[in-house]
Amino acid sequence: MTSVDRTPGASRSVTAKVLALLEAFTPDTPEMTLSELARRSGVSLPTAHRRVAELLEWGALEHAPGGRYRIGLRLWEVGSLAPRGLGLREAAMPFLEDLYEFTRENVQLAVREGTEVVFVERIAGRRAVPVWTRVGGRFALHATGVGLVLLAHAPVEVQQELLDAPLDRYSPKTITDPAALREKLASIRQSGFAVSDGQVTVDALSVAAPVLGQDGSVVAAVSLVVRAEGAQSAMLRPVVQSAARAITRALHTPAPTPIISHRIPS
């Protein structure tokens, strides 16, 4: 994942130090003391004290119980304005909701950022299989259904960069062999959809399809994530592809008209 240089003694600008402080927060560490923030960001304690005070005043950080700090609402407000996520999400939401209503399964919308997936939206079913993803979260391209779709249609240099690096294994089914992954990506480009069967967690199966921009390039991917046991990807594929096509049309026209006519037999 992209990160700010935290090399000890490295000369960093004020902006780099502020970004390092913000980047120190993660889903596993959403709240920290000043000392923890300074240590995790590689910023000296006096500098962290000054920068945190400025971030608090602006609203990027806020106080949490026990003298700790957490990300502030103002930062979320600014982040929500990112055009690639905002416009896409607004166009896609009616169809994501339709997809959820028809299936009651996990629905996801994602874009590619470098060699990672960024999840723009997620609707989780109460009784659906648990997933690791969250809105705004990142994940590897080579394991998830949406990631495989985005990787299959990524520029050659992006594919090569990922294939040249070690591929993380998340489950016994994760594809970590570059040759096997190349074959998988070629199949996805030919078929127009991707299936990730137990590649992130063995109990989950994901079926994903591409969303196209006005120039015909793949700008996003939509997926359903269901329990792997008893799942039939052939039944899921039509509704996922229908949703992807509807989102594609919505991106090209100002007034989306939700259409998902396929139902999954119970």
Contact 156, 118 (CB under 8 A): no
Q: Give the residue, 14 or 233, on which the prediction is more confident.
A: 14
pLDDT tens by residue, 121-151: 888 877 777 777 777 788 899 999 999 999 9
The whole-number average pLDDT for the span 100-106 is 88
Q: What is the mean pLDDT of the chain?
A: 84
Q: What is the DSSP letter of 41?
A: H
pLDDT higher than threshold 70 for residue 261: no
pLDDT higher than threshold 80 for residue 85: no
Task: Output the pLDDT for position 266.
Answer: 47
Mean pLDDT: which of 60-69, 75-84, 222-231 is highest? 60-69
The whole-number average pLDDT for the span 244-249 is 92
Does residue 126 sit in helix, strand or coil?
coil
Task: Output the pLDDT for position 262.
Answer: 52
The torsion region of residue 181 among left (phi > 0), alpha (psi -120 to 50) and beta comes to alpha
Q: How many CB atoms lie within 10 A of CB 254?
A: 6
The domain spans of the chain are 14-78, 83-252
The domain 83-252 is classified under which CATH number: 3.30.465.10, 3.20.20.140, 1.10.490.10, 3.30.450.40?
3.30.450.40
Burial 41-77 (b: 16+ CB within 10 A, else e): bbbeeebbeebbeebeeeebbeeeeeeebebbeebee
pLDDT tens by residue, 5-17: 444 445 678 888 8
Percent of the chain with pLDDT over 70: 87
pLDDT higher than threshold 70 for residue 159: yes
The domain 14-78 is classified under which CATH number: 1.10.10.10, 3.30.479.30, 3.30.70.20, 1.20.1250.20?
1.10.10.10
pTM summary value: 0.68
Does residue 148 sit in helix, strand or coil?
helix
Q: Give the residue, 226 or 147, on which the prediction is more confident.
A: 147
pLDDT higher than threshold 70 for residue 94: yes
Task: Output the pLDDT for position 80.
Answer: 63
